[in-house]
Amino acid sequence: MGNVEAAGGSTPSVNLTTDIVAEHTQTYPEVQPFSMVEDEHRELLPDMFEGGDYGWRDAEWVVQWYGRRFFGGFSDRDRRALEAAYNDNDYEDVHDAIGAAVDAEDAVGMLSHLTDLAGVDVPIGSAFCQFIDPDNYVVIDERQWGLLREAGELDADYPDPPTIEAYERYLATYRAVADRCECSLWDLYRALWVLGQE
């Protein structure tokens, strides 16, 4: 974990420095049309989830966001199946799982509650973690993992599907890179998203 050589021992093809992350974070709204809506939800959802004062659509938005932000990079069939599976949950079960995740002390605890829900695997659970506590958690997906690997920060291919243990490794790496680059997890996420578009 952290500062390993890129696959095959070659020089990393992505260089994550403080300046590069800051520059790419600034251009994120130009490449991600959801940027403004994401910012609104990142401000609103943590307090709503913590207080339990939210409706079905507020939680459902997180599931929809996970696939829709890719704009075609996530097949419509897979996205619709994911959203339909989530919609099999009862509101009370969703509320209980999110409440337990809010009270959990770490990623393992959060994800163990969230992945009990229908249609919520580790990636979707990590999206909930990001909007429950954006200062400490970030979503996992193949694009983000791949860019960290290209940068020499992770030394394994994206696990498909990711386990909770893989998420812990990914999160620790993400936190270390964000600390080194003097940015938040959210800013690093945005920078990596832009790098992935180039």
**Cα radius of gyration (the chain):** 16
**Residue 101 · residue 110 · CB < 8 Å:** yes
**Residue 145 · residue 154 · CB < 8 Å:** yes
Q: Is the pLDDT of residue 88 over 60?
A: yes
Q: Is the pLDDT of residue 192 over 70?
A: yes
Within a domain: 2: no
CB neighbours of 71 closer than 8 A, spacing ≥ 6? Answer: 33
CB neighbours of 162 closer than 8 A, spacing ≥ 6? Answer: 121, 122, 123, 140, 145, 170
Predicted confidence band at 12 (pLDDT cuts at 50, 70, 90)? Answer: low
Within a domain: 72: yes
For every residue of 55-121, DSSP letters joined together read -HHHHHHHHHHHHHTTTTSS-HHHHHHHHHHHTTS-HHHHHHHHHHHHH-SSHHHHHHHHTTSTT--
**Which of 22, 12, 71 minimizes the C-alpha distance to 192?**
22
CA dihedral 13, 14, 17, 21 (to 10 degrees): 160
CA-to-CA separations, 66 to 17, 20, 127, in angstroms, rounded: 27, 25, 7
Within a domain: 1: no
Provide mean pLDDT across the span 65-90: 87
Within a domain: 153: yes
Quote the pLDDT of residue 172. 98
Within a domain: 127: yes
Within a domain: 28: yes
Provide mean pLDDT across the span 60-66: 96
Tokens representing 82 are 């994911």
Provide mean pLDDT across the span 106-118: 97
How far is 167 from 122, CA to CA, in rounded Å? 8
**Residue 94 · residue 57 · CB < 8 Å:** no
Boundaries of domain holding 82: 7-197
Q: Is the pLDDT of residue 150 over 50?
A: yes
Predicted confidence band at 77 (pLDDT cuts at 50, 70, 90)? Answer: confident
Predicted confidence band at 3 (pLDDT cuts at 50, 70, 90)? Answer: very low
Q: How many domains does the chain have?
A: 1
Tokens representing 168 are 């812990």
Within a domain: 132: yes
Quote the pLDDT of residue 4. 34
Predicted confidence band at 79 (pLDDT cuts at 50, 70, 90)? Answer: confident
Quote the pLDDT of residue 14. 83
Within a domain: 122: yes
Quote the pLDDT of residue 70. 87
